[in-house]
């Protein structure tokens, strides 16, 4: 209701401004008519009629423009309906308990078995190592379902989720820049083996083979860097310059055959080889500044739906 009132106020103000401009123009026109009334000729009458017709057209255009303003200036900022509950996925089931599902539709967001950390990262479009806070935000899991009043873009869904987390979890945070050492994901020397998929992302992914095989569908490469960062336990930043959404498969299991019994597992070396061979991408050691979102406080139990 408040949004409707605010929209009406903006519409009314815009229409009043437009009408005011036209009214002042008409008043000026009448002033000119009165000053020259005694010497008005047929030619002047024709010019006057044209001027009045122009003013009427301007009035109609201003009215139509004012009607369009609410649609541009009043974007929806909150979900119409949202539910946040403790995850129904039972703990202690290995990879099944760790799997997090995120699905988007034009007017709907579904998150299954996600930590608060994951929800925040998706909302703010940041990576695994771009957030810090209390340990529990990575451990406790939730199921989140939210529906918008009308179809919106994925970026708008992210903004709506930011507001939802602030409202239900009383999330408080700030930004902080840190210099970190990690890896940059860049294009390799071999041909890219990614299948670009048209449309907005969100996508789905599955992890099997003891977490060493990952398949992504309609995903941005930022999701791949999240997977790599979690596996390597170090920051990974997407510097490929590739902005689309892709289908891809990364299987690191074949590269374990070269590991001798008792030899330490060089997971970074395996990932580097697998990325180059299977996707045409490469990991390079880099040091870069990272804008970290610091969670100052949040409530474990969100407020009621």
DSSP structural state of residue 89 = S
Whether this prediction's pTM lies above 0.85 is answered by: no
The span from the first CA to the last CA of the chain, in angstroms, equals 19
DSSP structural state of residue 24 = H
Give the pLDDT of residue 151.
94
Return the domain boundaries, the chain: 2-73, 81-297
| pLDDT exceeds cutoff 60 at 27 | no
| pLDDT exceeds cutoff 90 at 5 | no
Give the pLDDT of residue 57.
45
Distance of CA 259 to the CA centre of its chain: 41
Mean pLDDT of 227-253: 89
CA angle 215, 219, 224 (to 5 degrees): 65
Q: Are 66 and 10 in contact (CB under 8 A)?
A: no
More confident residue, 51 or 155: 155
Task: Phi first, then psi: give them for residue 34, nearest 5 degrees.
Answer: -65, -40
CA angle 179, 180, 183 (to 5 degrees): 135
Residues 6+ apart with CB under 8 A from 55: 22, 25, 26, 29
More confident residue, 254 or 23: 254
Partners of 214 in beta bridges: 207, 250
C-beta neighbour count of 170 within 10 angstroms:
12
DSSP structural state of residue 38 = G
Q: What is the mean pLDDT of the chain?
A: 77
| pLDDT exceeds cutoff 70 at 204 | no
| pLDDT exceeds cutoff 80 at 164 | yes
Place 201 in a pLDDT band, splitting at 50, 70 and 90. Answer: low
Give counts: helices (H), strands (E), the chain: 7, 12
CA angle 288, 221, 194 (to 5 degrees): 130
| pLDDT exceeds cutoff 50 at 66 | no
Distance CA 75, CA 236 (A): 34
Find where tokens 């946040």 sit.
Answer: 84
Give the pLDDT of residue 45.
54
Find where tokens 């599902």 sit.
Answer: 101
Distance CA 280, CA 68 (A): 48
Give the pLDDT of residue 54.
52
Place 93 in a pLDDT band, splitting at 50, 70 and 90. Answer: low
Mean pLDDT of 65-75: 39
Place 76 in a pLDDT band, splitting at 50, 70 and 90. Answer: low
Return the structure tokens found at 279. Answer: 């996707």
Distance CA 37, CA 87 (A): 81
Mean pLDDT of 6-30: 42
Give the pLDDT of residue 80.
95
Mean pLDDT of 149-153: 94
Q: What percent of the chain shows pLDDT beyond 90?
A: 43
Q: Are 247 and 268 in contact (CB under 8 A)?
A: no
């Amino acid at each position: 209701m408040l949004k409707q009132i605010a929209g009406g106020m903006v519409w009314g103000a815009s229409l009043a401004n437009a009408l005011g401009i036209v009214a002042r123009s008409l008043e000026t026109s009448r002033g000119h008519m009165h000053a020259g009334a005694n010497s008005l000729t047929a030619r002047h009458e024709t010019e006057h009629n044209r001027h009045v017709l122009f003013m009427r057209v301007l009035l109609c255009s201003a009215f139509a423009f004012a009607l369009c303003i609410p649609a541009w200036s009043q974007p929806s900022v909150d979900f119409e309906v949202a539910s946040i509950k403790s995850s129904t996925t039972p703990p202690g089931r290995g990879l099944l308990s760790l799997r997090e599902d995120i699905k988007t539709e034009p007017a709907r967001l579904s998150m299954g078995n996600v930590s608060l950390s994951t929800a925040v990262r998706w909302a703010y479009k940041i990576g695994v190592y771009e957030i810090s806070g209390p340990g529990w935000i990575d451990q406790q899991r939730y199921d989140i379902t939210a529906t918008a009043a009308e179809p919106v873009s994925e970026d708008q869904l992210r903004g709506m989720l930011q507001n939802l987390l602030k409202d239900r979890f009383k999330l408080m945070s700030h930004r902080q820049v840190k210099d970190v050492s990690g890896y940059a994901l860049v294009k390799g020397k071999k041909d890219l083996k990614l299948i670009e998929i048209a449309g907005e992302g969100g996508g789905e992914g599955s992890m099997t083979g003891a977490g060493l095989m990952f398949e992504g569908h309609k995903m941005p490469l930022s999701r791949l860097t999240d997977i790599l960062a979690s596996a390597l336990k170090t920051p990974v930043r997407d510097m490929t310059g590739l902005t689309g959404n892709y289908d891809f498969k990364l299987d690191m299991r074949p590269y374990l055959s070269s590991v001798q019994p008792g030899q330490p597992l060089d997971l970074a070396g395996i990932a580097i080889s697998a990325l180059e061979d299977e996707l045409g991408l490469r990991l390079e050691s880099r040091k870069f500044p990272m804008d970290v979102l610091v969670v100052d406080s949040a409530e474990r139990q969100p407020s009621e739906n």
